Amino acid sequence: MTVLKTKKFTAVQGVLLAGLTFLALMYLPGMFYTKSMVKDQFWWWWVVHLWVEGSWELIAAALLAFMLHKLIGADVKVLAKWMYIEVGLVLFTGILGLGHHYYWIGTPKYWLWVGGIFSSLEPIPLLLMVWDAFRTTRETRGVIQNRVGLYYTVAHAIFNFVGAGLWGVVHTLPQVNKWTHGIQITTAHGNLAFYGAYVLLILSMIYVTLPSLRGVKEFNQSRGYQAFWWMTISMVFIVITITGAGMVQTYMERLMGLDYVTVKASYNLWFWIFRAIFGAGFLIGVLILVKDFFTLGKKPAF
């Protein structure tokens, strides 16, 4: 309905609607069952992978273009051009990058090549989004009122690349995944990718749209920065902790041949101490954010 009310269909709207449609359709492969667990997992990974590295990246590219236009008045035609390139690369690398989920579930061996090659290419469109965000910001002329909104927007592009891209590709090549499959390194990738691709994108949209909804142009942005740094620094150390646990698992389980419980017992105490400390830090950031959400624009900016 919102699109219809504008009476003008844009490239950003088109990519956003395509991503939302794709996202809804990707639930379907997980809604039926066969008599073979291998076949079930073959289709279930469409839900997990193509939902994230297909449809959601379309939505992210469209919203990134929207926010850069809204915040700094970037040229819509230029944004649309780079958005098309980013979306094309996301689909080109992401669809066949699905192969890295097919390594060890009984599928043909050619998936090792397909998954490995296209998984190694998946960070490219995410890096392009980072470059696009910095390029557009650098070319901006004039004063940016909503700097915290731009802060979260650029941070989303960066951590989407680091979490989904770099932390993904380091363990999706078959030569590496042979040793790291199913351990905490996968969890570390999931945590950082979720924070970069989902959390920061949603928070960006909140800080871009909430001032307009509240009818304010100037507001106190300090809490937004505080929340960002509390959450981001905490998340970085959470991911380092989980990655370290994964490295211990890889060496002790896969190379030394020790069983899961023995290895878990060797690192579990420090693992949860660090998780609790940095988790508390992240919670502080969330509480600051929640307070800022309910008070933004309701008090003088200074």
State pLDDT tens for residues 48-94.
888 888 889 899 989 988 888 888 887 888 888 888 888 898 889 98
The pLDDT, as a whole number, for residue 281 is 98
Q: Tokens 């909140």, residue? A: 206
How many whole angstroms separate alpha carbon 248 and alpha carbon 254?
10
How many whole angstroms separate alpha carbon 127 and alpha carbon 198?
16
All structural domains of the chain with their residue ranges: 8-295
What's the predicted TM-score (pTM) here? 0.90
Of the candidates 217, 80, 203, the residue with the CA atom closest to the CA atom of residue 153: 203
How many residues are listed for the chain in this entry? 302
pLDDT digits (tens, 9 = 90+) for 114-139: 999 999 898 888 888 888 888 877 77
The pLDDT, as a whole number, for residue 111 is 93
Residue 221 neighbours by CB distance under 10 Å: 19
- In Å, how far from its chain's centre is CA 230? 18
The pLDDT, as a whole number, for residue 300 is 62
The pLDDT, as a whole number, for residue 301 is 57
The pLDDT, as a whole number, for residue 1 is 60
- Looking at the domain that runs over 8-295, which CATH code has it been given? 1.20.210.10
Q: What percent of the chain has pLDDT over 70?
A: 95
The pLDDT, as a whole number, for residue 122 is 87
How many whole angstroms separate alpha carbon 215 and alpha carbon 234?
33
Contact 272, 207 (CB under 8 A): no
Low-confidence ranges of the chain (pLDDT < 70): 1-7, 140-142, 300-302
Of the candidates 240, 98, 99, 110, the residue with the CA atom closest to the CA atom of residue 162: 240
